[in-house]
Structure 1
Amino acid sequence: MILEQIPIGPMQNFGYVLGDGKTKEGAIVDPGWDADTLLSAAKRHGLLIKKIILTHAHYDHVKALQEMVDKTKAEVVIHEDEPFDAKRYSTAIVLVKDNDSIPIGGLKMKVIHTPGHTPGSICLLHGRKMITGDTLFVGGCGRVDLPGSDPEQMWQTMQKLRKMDDGIEIFPGHDYGDTPSSPLGHEKKHNPFLSSGTKEDFFGERL
């Protein structure tokens, strides 16, 4: 699998280029800014962008979406629970749910519904690599004091992630940590939001 993490925009965002090295079919994840930067990276890998996947629909993750759609004609993939004005975009909108698979050539990206930061936030898992959007950062997690956020759901999401394999490498939506990615096992031990023993501890850290 091709996975390139690309710093974009003025808010420390990461966008991602995903692709199947054999079929050369590709996808862009979270085109918040700098569409040309993301497309240049895809071109370096020889990828034809067929999908644009959104981990959620906050402004800083979709600002360049229209430009990306115009330049690629790719379909947009988003969770069915995520507030999203699909009529703004002149392309196919594909709605997914928990445990769905998103095909990218011969690859299958597993959808993990991780609500809390937004109702339809998702993580994307293939093998031992997981793009976590604004659900889980290196050393942190997404805000839960925004419209549509839910602290209780985020707590449940953290419990869901704690059950996953320690060897999974997380690739977040923002460059907020000491490193651009991190093993999930490390986050379970050192990320205060993932290691909180009780709901009250978690709320004390996050709220």
Structure 2
Amino acid sequence: MIFEQVEVGDMQNFCYIIADEKSKEAAIVDAGWEPEKLLKTAKSKNLKIKYILLTHTHYDHINSLAKLFELTRAKILVHENDADSVENLGLPYGKLKDKNEINLGKLKIKVLHTPGHTPGSVCYLVENKLITGDTLFVEAVGRIDLPGGSKEELLDSLKKLSKLDGKIEICPGHDYGSRKNSTIDYEKKNNPFMRF
């Protein structure tokens, strides 16, 4: 697997590039800022962008979606509960549900619906890495005070994530913590919202 964490924009966003090493089929996760930077990283590894995967549809995660789609013509995938935001942009997209699998060559990406930050927030599990968007940060969690946010749903989502293998690496949507990545076990010990 090829896996790149790319920091973009002024809000400390992380976007991710995931690819199957053999086929070079790739996905970009989130499209907040600097699409040219993302594509330069992908091009340096000779990757073919097949999908643009969204963790949720807040502005800082989709504001360059139209440009990234224009440059790649990749299929946009978003959870059905957040799809209205993409539809409002007039872009073609596919809807995701919990437990869907996305294939890049032989690489499988599993969709985990984790509402709370938004109704359609998702995490993407690929091998031993979990891209958490704004559901789970290093030592923190996403806001619930924005439209569609829900404390109860977020807590249920965090419980769901806490049951995953403790060695799975957390790859958040922002660089807000004391380090860029962590693990499920680390969060269970150090994140006050993950102590169940």
Map of 1:49 onto structure 2 = 49
Deviation at residue 81 of structure 1 after TM alignment: 1.1
SS in 2 for 1:174: coil
Tell me which structure has the larger Cα radius of gyration: 1
In structure 1, distance between residues paired with 2:18 and 2:69: 16
Amino acid at match of 2:73: K
Map of 2:32 onto structure 1 = 32
| Alignment partner of 1:23 is 2:8 | no
The 1:176–1:38 alpha-carbon spacing in structure 2 relative to 1, beyond 3 Å, is same
Map of 1:204 onto structure 2 = none
Map of 1:116 onto structure 2 = 116
Structure 1 segment 156-171 matched on structure 2, within 5 A: 156-171=156-171
Structure 1 segment 127-206 matched on structure 2, within 5 A: 127-195=127-195, 197=196
SS in 1 for 2:111: strand
Q: Is the 8 Å Cα contact of residues 110 and 124 (structure 1) preserved in structure 2?
A: yes
Q: Is the 8 Å Cα contact of residues 123 and 131 (structure 1) preserved in structure 2?
A: yes
In structure 1, distance between residues paired with 2:182 and 2:37: 24
Map of 1:61 onto structure 2 = 61
SS in 2 for 1:186: helix
| Alignment partner of 1:88 is 2:89 | yes
Amino acid at match of 2:141: C
SS in 1 for 2:132: strand
SS in 1 for 2:194: coil
| Alignment partner of 1:105 is 2:83 | no
Structure 2: stretches of 5+ with no match in the other structure: none
Q: Is the 8 Å Cα contact of residues 69 and 89 (structure 1) preserved in structure 2?
A: no
- RMSD over aligned Cα atoms: 1.0
Map of 1:200 onto structure 2 = none
Aligned-residue sequence identity (percent) comes to 49
Amino acid at match of 2:185: G
| Alignment partner of 1:2 is 2:38 | no
In structure 2, distance between residues paired with 1:72 and 1:19: 15
Amino acid at match of 2:33: W
SS in 2 for 1:69: helix
SS in 2 for 1:193: helix
TM-score by length of 1: 0.92
In structure 1, distance between residues paired with 2:88 and 2:74: 15
Deviation at residue 87 of structure 1 after TM alignment: 5.0
Q: How many residues align?
A: 195
Q: Is the 8 Å Cα contact of residues 57 and 86 (structure 2) preserved in structure 1?
A: no
